[in-house]
Amino acid sequence: MLILDSTSGFRQMWYNKQNPSTIYIDIRLETWPDLLCDLKHLPFRSEIFDLIVFDPPHHSCGIVSDFAWKYGRFLTREIKLLLAKGPYEFHRVLKRDGILIFKWGTHDIPLLKVLSFFTSNFEPLFGQKTSERTKKGTKTYWVSLRKI
């Protein structure tokens, strides 16, 4: 199995942060990705990956915030561009019936609106709300989608 972590950051979600079956990419050099690249233009041949993990930035934040240091600072328009372009590249590099695992926080954009970026190329299989922050009403979801 070959896995692509398309927004690896500091690999906080991984139990094994050096998983030999995974290629960790990021646009930020300070996260020490295996490959420094933009997920909107993946440098891989078509239909190579069995599984892709996509944990994009969920909201814009201040320049000196802890959130910006851990996850990068992105403007809302940049996040929307990732959501618009990423699914097409994922569809291209995923094998037939490949799986995309998507994590989303609803801080700025509701989940159903975000899923509309995927539905022309992916079938949502299942999802789970994993946390909720009451201050802003933000909910975090994990969603599994299959390439169609």
Per-residue pLDDT reduced to its tens digit, 21-31? 999 999 989 89
Threshold 0.95, pTM exceeds = no
The domain spans of the chain are: 3-147
Strands 138-147 and 22-26: unpaired
CATH topology of domain 3-147: Rossmann fold (3.40.50)
Residues whose CB is less than 8 angstroms from the CB of residue 64 and which lie 6 or more positions away in sequence, other chains included: none
pLDDT tens across 70-122, in order? 666 666 777 788 888 999 999 999 999 999 999 998 878 889 999 999 988 99
Residue owning tokens 């159903």: 112
The answer to whether residues 69 and 22 touch, using CB atoms and an 8 Å cutoff, is no
- The two three-digit tokens of residue 111, written as one number: 């989940």
Provide the pLDDT confidence category of residue 132 given band limits of 50, 70 and 90: confident
